[in-house]
């Protein structure tokens, strides 16, 4: 009987968690990068949060409120990860019932050595589970071994360790998992957005789509795959392409503005498409495009990824051709759910992927409403 009650509670908890993840309702995001977030700053989810927390409490056979979650974000000063961490903190404390003081979020400041120290401190203080957005995904084997030795499960987010490492977790039954999106999908959507324009990206009609590519940090698989698959979607559709320039903008608006400005000076009208690996960089590129007197969707195309509020508004206003929703609500909630599963001692798949959503003028308003 007791077992049945527990099983029902688990079912209820996950059903609620997943239906909430699916509906995309959540806290209001801001694309500014505040110094730190507190749960009090985030918007309260309407009705079912308390019930969900109750169900989770039953399901773990105790109170998650007493469990400690250590989180480290690769750097706070990142537009997308700011939205992500705000939702993660809100979900853990308001919906899953962790005590605010037991959810500690550290800023990795873009420095792997500093972040490794933070993780070491979490381990020394016997945190129950860690949620980590690594500065360098290539540090995953070392960090995983540190956590494993201490018996602490780890949920990696956003920066995907390589497949060999992920395979090791399942082969060696290590309590580690990755929650993210398959970046190949986002790249493909970007290429499709260009192919679906009236001239398939070939504005000057010379039979070739000439583009520049502004990349994120190239160590990150998101940057690698978006770069590769955006172009591949065009060539797979039979288009000829010419890369005029490929440069790293490190996901950063100001760096991308400079790159786009220099490229527009050097290549002028030859540039038909600017691919940006994320929206922060697309916002920078747009500043340069407007300063150069060019007009998006008329004499140049521009695409990004993430669906930052400003970028989605730009899609509606015709100042950005398209973007791709990098669903931080579902990713944050899945990461929280995996942390709870580890605490409950349940088995967890080594990789958990969330879908991207293509954003064009057709659905931009709908996506913007979800973000608000
Ligand atoms: C996002 C970028 C972000 C990066 C951080 C990517 O998935 O698209 O905006 O800067 O993650 O790792």
The pTM of the full predicted model, rounded to 2 decimals, is 0.85
CA–CA separation, 41 and 35 (whole Å): 12
Pocket residues for ligand 1 (CB within 6 Å)?
Answer: 74, 78, 80-81, 158-159, 220, 222, 251, 278, 280, 305-306, 326
Claim to verify: residue 88 and residue 12 sit in the same structural domain = yes
Same domain, 213 and 292: yes
* 162, 192: one domain: no
Residue 16 makes CB contacts below 8 A (sequence gap 6+) with 48, 51, 52, 55
Residue 364, domain member (yes or no): no
> 117 φ, ψ to 5°?
-60, -45
For the CA of 220, the nearest atom of ligand 1: 12
**91 in the same domain as 235:** no
Q: Which amino acid residue places its CA nearest to atom 3 of ligand 1?
A: 80
Domain that holds residue 350: 2-30+37-181+328-354
**Residue 97: inside a domain:** yes
Residue 48 lies in a domain: yes
Confidence at residue 183, expressed as pLDDT on a 0 to 100 scale: 96
Q: Is residue 245 one of the residues assigned to a domain?
A: yes
**Is 60 found in the same domain as 7?**
yes
Ligand 1 atom closest to Cα of residue 74: 12
Residues 126 and 102 in one domain: yes
In a shared domain, residues 24 and 110? yes
Distance of CA 201 to the CA centre of its chain: 27
Q: Which helix (H) or strand (E) holds 244?
A: strand 240-248
Q: 182-232, pLDDT tens digit by residue? A: 999 999 999 999 999 999 999 999 999 999 999 999 999 999 999 999 999
Tokens 């960089």 correspond to 281
Question: Cα(320)–Cα(281) distance, rounded to whole angstroms?
Answer: 12
Q: What is the largest CA-CA distance in the chain?
A: 74
180 pairs with which residues across the strands? 353
**93 part of a folded domain:** yes
Q: Does residue 209 sit in the same domain as residue 275?
A: yes
360 belongs to a structural domain: no
**Do 296 and 344 belong to one domain?**
no
Interval between CA 220 and ligand 1 midpoint (Å): 9
Radius of gyration for the chain, computed over Cα atoms and rounded to the nearest angstrom: 21
Cβ atoms within 10 Å of 293's Cβ, excluding its own: 8
The pLDDT tens digits along the chain (372 residues) read 333 333 333 333 333 333 333 333 233 222 333 333 333 333 334 445 555 555 555 555 456 889 999 999 999 999 999 999 999 999 999 999 999 999 999 999 999 999 999 999 999 999 999 999 999 999 999 999 999 999 999 999 999 999 999 999 999 999 999 999 999 999 999 999 999 999 999 999 999 999 999 999 999 999 999 999 999 999 999 999 999 999 999 999 999 999 999 999 999 999 999 999 999 999 999 999 999 999 999 999 999 999 999 999 999 999 999 999 999 999 999 999 999 999 999 999 999 999 999 999 999 999 999 998
Q: With respect to residue 161, please indicate whether it lies within any of the assigned structural domains.
A: yes
Residue whose CA is closest, atom 11 of ligand 1?
158
Pocket test for ligand 1, best of 75, 78, 223, 356 (most atoms within 8 A of CB): 78
Kindly report the CATH number assigned to the domain that includes residue 218.
3.40.50.2300
**Cα separation of 150 and 160, whole Å?**
22
229 found inside a domain: yes
Ligand 1, residue 277: give the atom nearest the CA: 8
One domain for residues 269 and 344: no
Q: Are residues 257 and 333 in the same domain?
A: no
Residue 174 and residue 58 in one domain:
yes
Q: How many domains does the chain have?
A: 2
Q: Are strands 357-359 and 323-325 parallel, antiparallel or unpaired?
A: antiparallel
């Amino acid at each position: 009987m007791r077992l049945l009650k527990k099983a029902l509670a688990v079912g209820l908890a996950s059903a609620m968690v997943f239906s909430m993840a699916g509906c995309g309702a959540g806290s209001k995001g801001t694309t500014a990068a505040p110094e730190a977030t507190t749960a009090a700053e985030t918007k309260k989810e309407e009705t079912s949060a308390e019930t969900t927390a109750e169900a989770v409490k039953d399901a773990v056979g105790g109170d998650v409120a007493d469990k400690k979650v250590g989180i480290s974000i690769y750097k706070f000063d990142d537009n997308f990860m700011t939205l992500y961490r705000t939702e993660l903190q809100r979900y853990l404390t308001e919906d899953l019932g962790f005590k605010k003081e037991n959810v500690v979020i550290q800023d990795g400041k873009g420095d792997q050595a500093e972040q490794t120290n933070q993780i070491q401190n979490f381990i020394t203080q016997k945190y129950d589970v860690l949620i980590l957005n690594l500065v360098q995904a290539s540090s995953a084997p070392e960090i995983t071994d540190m956590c494993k030795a201490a018996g602490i499960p780890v949920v990696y987010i956003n920066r995907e360790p390589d497949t060999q490492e992920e395979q090791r977790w399942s082969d060696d039954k290590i309590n580690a998992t990755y929650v993210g999106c398959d970046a190949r999908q986002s790249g493909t959507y970007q290429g499709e957005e260009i192919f679906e324009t009236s001239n398939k990206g070939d504005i000057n009609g010379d039979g070739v789509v000439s583009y520049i590519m502004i990349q994120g940090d190239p160590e990150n698989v998101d940057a690698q795959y978006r770069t590769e698959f955006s172009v591949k979607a065009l060539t797979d559709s039979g288009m000829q392409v010419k890369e005029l320039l490929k440069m790293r903008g490190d996901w950063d608006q100001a760096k991308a503005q400079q790159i786009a400005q220099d490229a527009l000076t050097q290549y002028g009208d030859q540039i038909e498409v600017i691919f940006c690996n994320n929206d922060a960089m697309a916002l920078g590129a747009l500043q340069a495009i407007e300063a150069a007197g060019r007009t998006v969707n008329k004499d140049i195309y521009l695409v990004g990824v993430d669906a930052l509020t400003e970028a989605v508004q730009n899609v509606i206003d015709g100042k950005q051709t398209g973007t791709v929703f990098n669903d931080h609500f579902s990713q944050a909630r899945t990461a929280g759910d995996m942390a709870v599963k580890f605490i409950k001692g349940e088995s967890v798949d080594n990789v958990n992927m969330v879908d991207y959503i293509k954003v064009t003028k057709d659905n931009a308003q709908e996506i913007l409403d979800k973000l608000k």
